[in-house]
Amino acid sequence: MKKVNYIRYQRYELISTFLGVMVWVSLGTFSIIAKGLLEINMITFMEATIFIVSILGTHMAFRNYGNYKFYILYNIIIETLFLIAILYLVYINSKFIGISIYLVIILSRMVQPIINEKARTIEDTLFKKNSEKRLLSGLRKKDGYITNIAGTLGSLIAIFFISILNIDIYTFAVYMLCLNILQNMFDYYKWWIYLR
């Protein structure tokens, strides 16, 4: 992988981080309501599965399975499919929306540790100069700032549309999920241009 492509990809990844965090923070109330439609045994099972999958993802990360490009693409495709499924379930007002939301969380918890570890391996291999390390450090700092700003903005968006404008929470969820799907299309574009 070329250094310049990796850096460009990570810069555009800041946009994806901003959109993704903003959407899911704004959907916090909707997620709670959707999960509440499930039976208590199903909720308990899903919560336990999240932690088990997190352990599995961490184990796979340190066992060095697969490669960075594959896991990025896999994450984009599967997450997009789940988001489309959630969008459809919201449209038909299904009680299984909560399960789909849990599946998106489970996917993220399994794949994200692997992606993070693969990225660190690439950075340790390609970027050895102090100037390059400072550049990467700067990108990580920006990622932290952007995550906090996006979370705050997502909360304000939810308050404005749901509490002030009294927009139906399911309608609001449809709009935000569509935005999240567009973000995934942007993620695929980044992958196609810089990582394939």
Least confident window among 56-65, 78-87, 163-172: 56-65
pLDDT attached to residue 182: 93
* pLDDT, tens digit (0-9, with 9 covering 90-100), for 23-75: 989 988 888 888 887 888 888 898 899 889 888 888 877 776 678 888 888 88
Q: How far apart are CA 65 and CA 135, in angstroms?
A: 27
Cβ pair 114, 57 in contact under 8 A: yes
Average pLDDT in the 70-96 region? 87
Which amino acid appears at position 49 of this protein?
T
What does the block give as tokens for 117? 């570890």
For the chain, domain boundaries: 3-195
Kind and range of the H or E run holding 190:
helix 169-190
d(CA 143, CA 124): 19
**What's the whole-number mean pLDDT along residues 82-105?**
86
- The answer, yes or no, to whether residue 18 has pLDDT greater than 90, is yes
pLDDT at 120: 85
* Predicted pLDDT at 155: 92
First to last CA, the chain: 9
Q: What is the mean pLDDT of residues 105-134?
A: 85
Distances (CA, A) of 137 to 49, 53, 114: 33, 29, 20
Q: What is the mean pLDDT of the chain?
A: 87
Domain 3-195 has CATH 1.20.1250: yes
pLDDT at residue 196 greater than cutoff 80? no
